[in-house]
Amino acid sequence: MTTKKATIKDVAREAKVSVASVSRALNGQGGVTAETLERIRVAAKQLHYVPDNAARSLITRRTHTIGALLPDLFGEFFSELIRGIDLAARSRGLHLLVSSSHDGADEAAAALRAMHGRVDGMLILSPWVDEAFLDANLTDGLPTVLINSSVQASGRSVLNIDNRGGAYAMTEHLLRVAGHKDIAFIAGPAGNFDAEQRALGYREAMRKLAPKVPLNIVAGSFTEESGYQAGRELLKQERRPSAVFAANDMMAVGCLYAFKEAGLQVPADIALAGFDDIPIARYLTPPLSTVSVHIAELGRNALERLAALMDGREQSNSTGALGCAIAVRGTCGANRDA
């Protein structure tokens, strides 16, 4: 039975009321007798009436949809983020329009423009956005929450992962609990926001907790290969560090390989820690100690914040950070002083 499609008028005719009453009744705004409401209900159900979103949006100026602009993310992070956003959105009756895996500022800009007018708010996680980008492509006052972004523009709401706190905590753990002293750090790519924040956390912890130990930072680029190279470089140093903290797990994986190749025992000869808690982490031998981020929580939180923004419950210039937890496994040598 693929009839044309029932409109509000059909329902009105069927229930012998005006379209206005149907609208009021179905939107639960009151102003209708219990009796007529019932009559309208049965008419609507009988005709399989479902209101037309386009028409509704046209006059309401609301789409009940939020847009998510995401870069080319890898598995776990992406799916968890979407999960968090989607769950929170659904529970608020919002829909989720996704535009992912764009790859460059131009593509991001195009995607953003295309969303324009289709969404009531935006969630943006992208390495390409900076203040200029936003000013150019987000002209009107579309509520927006930036995720894990370095922009600190006035009037922009941004939610970050507490990379710095996480790195601090892991460094502290390596120093205090595991009893290491010389802790080297494999940095991420320059200009990467996450990488810089993590380096900052490491520096801060070393400065406060081991002020006499010189910093030992080698370069990396978040790839497994760069971690391997960094590991080899560290082993060449005249005084081998007792622990290595890689700015992400992939580099830790590469680094671990370099250590094994050199015949070193981890963590007996040298300890290791990563950042991200990717799924592989717990399957390495020994399992990798790392800093884990609750990504779904990040998504959920971002959406809550956006919803608050859209409802006018919150200012648009708030900045927040989401905590990390350190996952102590095999590679960091937690029992060294035991």
Q: How far is the CB of 55 from a second copy (least distance, A)?
A: 5
Strands 319-322 and 271-273: unpaired
Contact with a second copy (CB under 8 A) among 36, 99, 150, 318: 99
Which of these ranges, 17-25, 223-231, 240-248, 284-292, lies near DNA under the rule CB under 7 A?
17-25
What's the rounded Cα separation, in Å, for the pair 246 and 220? 9
What's the rounded Cα separation, in Å, for the pair 158 and 151? 8
Q: Considering the rule CB under 7 A, would residue 18 count as an interface residue with DNA?
A: yes
- Mark 205-234 with x for binding to DNA (rule: CB under 7 A) and - for no binding: ------------------------------
Q: How far is the CB of 103 from DNA (least distance, A)?
A: 29
Contact with DNA (CB under 7 A) among 3, 28, 59, 338: 59
- Mark 106-145 with x for binding to a second copy (rule: CB under 8 A) and - for no binding: -----x-xxxxxx--------------------xxx----
CA distances from 125 to 105, 151, 195, 295 (A): 12, 11, 16, 13
CA distances from 304 to 16, 61, 116, 145 (A): 42, 21, 21, 10
Listed residue (52, 82, 50) closest to 66, CA to CA:
82
By a kind-dependent CB cut-off of 5 to 8 A, residue 111 interacts, out of a second copy, DNA, none, with: a second copy
**C-beta closer to DNA: residue 5 or 207:** 5
Q: Considering the rule CB under 7 A, would residue 30 count as an interface residue with DNA?
A: yes
What's the rounded Cα separation, in Å, for the pair 269 and 247? 20
CA distances from 333 to 49, 110, 274, 330 (A): 64, 48, 13, 6
Q: How far is the CB of 24 from DNA (least distance, A)?
A: 5
Residues that bind DNA (CB under 7 A): 5, 7-9, 16-24, 26-27, 29-33, 35-36, 49-52, 55-56, 58-60
